[in-house]
Structure 1
Amino acid sequence: MPAIGESLREARLRHNVDIGEVSAQTKIRGKYLRALENEEFDQLPGPTYVRTFLRTYAEYLGLDGALLVEAYRAEHGAVTEDEPLTPFAPGAAGRRGTRDRGLAGPAPMLSGPLPLVAAAAVAIVAGLLVIGLVSGDDDGDDPTPPPVGAVKTETDTEAKQRAGGRRESKRDRSNGPITLEIAPATPTYTCVDDGAGEVLFEETISEAERFKGKVLRVNLGNGQAKISVNGETVDIEGGPNPIGYRFNAKSEREIPDGERPCQL
């Protein structure tokens, strides 16, 4: 039987993806993915969820999910509870920069029985969201999309600015540390660094998070979030696509795809 944690970690590193990206794609919380790689199965809610998340993570990486589940059963004994269907893992194709190639390898992620259970698995994901075991906060709130009117309509000027790769605005502020608050409308992959490439935070968040520093750079999985600097709301590029910004006390500017935190 294969070593479960070692197999998962080696496959993830071989495909050059990080925990935050896997969490965003599979909707499994980062701490549970790390627990699977470390074989700390007691950190998960129970054996059923160990098997479910293990199969989903393995198949996302192109591994044999059934084989790793069998290895877990052999080591920890059989259980009598019914096992839920594996949550549907979204396509592995990356959404940014060099990650666009997906998880190519000898064992494609969507091979085997996964496509046959996709429709039913979507319902399972919805149920897991309700009890807060899939990516999201612990109280299990089912994320709801923003109202139709909440997505900002792009003007011609903004389109030109975005095509140029940068948007920048300046305000009259002192040149000191800032408090940056990110309040997502839906569970959102978030990476924050110190402006020099040192990652301060990487996780999928479902509620407001605050960060402090003189310069902060942000990479978000989508633009459906409210961002404020020192309590002042910042006008960002809204919508379902990933966005990136650099903030300091005097200004903020958009960061082009491929240059954002956690992309290098």
Structure 2
Amino acid sequence: MNDIHPSGLGIGAALKDARRRQDMDVKEAEERTKIRARYLRALEAEDWEVLPAPAYVRGFLRTYGDMLDLDGEMLADRYRRFSEDSQGGASSPATEPLLRERARPPGSRPPSRTPVILAIAAGIIILLVILGSIGGDDDGDKSSGDGDKAARKLRRDDEKKPQPLRPIDLVLETKDSIQVCLVGGADEALIDAQTLVAGTEESFSGFKRYRLDLRDGGEVQLRAGGKRQELTADGDASFDADSRGIREVDYAGPDCP
């Protein structure tokens, strides 16, 4: 796993740089981390006021950082030290809990939870031992059957998982005179809001994902990763194309990319 980018970038810049190096947009990052896109953008912009309590922010940083092959724990620790070093200013959701902790008398420490955790763990272990001794060998066949079912379920779950994206070739052919924006990867404009006449054919390669915006509708033919599809729109429309297929998405224009 990579450390924070060797150029010494801050938290937000390191996240954004790592995402772009993986040719990933925020929408894909949201799908993979299950963290809202507005929070991912806030992390990259270091806009802490938008984010919830520090505990959530540290969790977001661990998850997002690890997904981008950064050291998520180091990012979370850097944010924690930054938060603790912040002084003054109005309280916000990111700093208020931190200020309340600093209100403790000097030298005092929060009560340790270690004994409670150890006691709970010991109780769970004892309970498992008791249940195992009660079940005995009579449950051997049942356990084996349950194990087979679990293995089959894992295989089915693996088959349902989306396959990782791979770079594909894309060919765009216009059927009408139409204004087109074509974006490769996260934010590289391949066709920058140009009007193409009917019969124009453009080819591109090397990107895992493409986004096609049609301004005021029209008809085009798209070949992406060996799949051909006729796309027709009566008004503004956007389409995503990758190794999984071609699909219509919410209109992303008029800005390009």
Normalized per residue, which structure has more helix?
A: 2
TM-score range, shorter chain: 0.3 to 0.5
Normalized per residue, which structure has more strand?
A: 2
Taking structure 1 as the reference length, the TM-score comes to: 0.37
Taking structure 2 as the reference length, the TM-score comes to: 0.38
Larger relative contact order (Cα-Cα within 8 Å, sequence gap ≥ 6): 1
